Chain A
Amino acid sequence: DTEVTQTPKHLVMGMTNKKSLKCEQHMGHRAMYWYKQKAKKPPELMFVYSYEKLSINESVPSRFSPECPNSSLLNLHLHALQPEDSALYLCASSPVTQETQYFGPGTRLLVL
């Protein structure tokens, strides 16, 4: 099973809302990632968790807050987002960092 699942598929939120994106994998991978992808651009790395510890934060604004409750789950908490944060948010996992990454289907976020 090489599946990474993400919920919700779509999300519309106002700038004052608080919401969370969820990602799950059951492949026993110990590295998980959040990416942001705008239209016609490649994915941009946001956060990396390795063995449930945050190892990379690519200077992401604090209105994005990641959380890794256990080795299978990764959350991204959203608060006070801006319209320019509208994008496809992709979760990925890999056995350990630097190995092949497998992507979930993404959450398409629209901030109004």
Chain B
Amino acid sequence: DTAVSQTPKYLVTQMGNDKSIKCEQNLGHDTMYWYKQDSKKFLKIMFSYNNKELIINETVPNRFSPKSPDKAHLNLHINSLELGDSAVYFCASSSSWYFVVAETQYFGPGTRLLVL
């Protein structure tokens, strides 16, 4: 059983299009995250949700809109895609967002987005 799954794995699209990435976790975790990994492999947090509530919203263009229909799912919708949005997007989950000592974050396999 895959703990954190994402779809699609690859996404190739034209500039200006709107696209969505879906994420599901079956670990029973309360907290889910979206990360962006650029071409230099730098991993940066974009958003986190705890039990459907937005906790972290980093400086991300408002073309990116996360949605959490329930605590096991976190989707990412991107409007008006730009060339600079090309990256690998990772979903992750952890048992909670409120910790002093870092908890284990479980990552999905990533969605490779290429904007042409």
The yes or no verdict on A and B being binding partners is: no
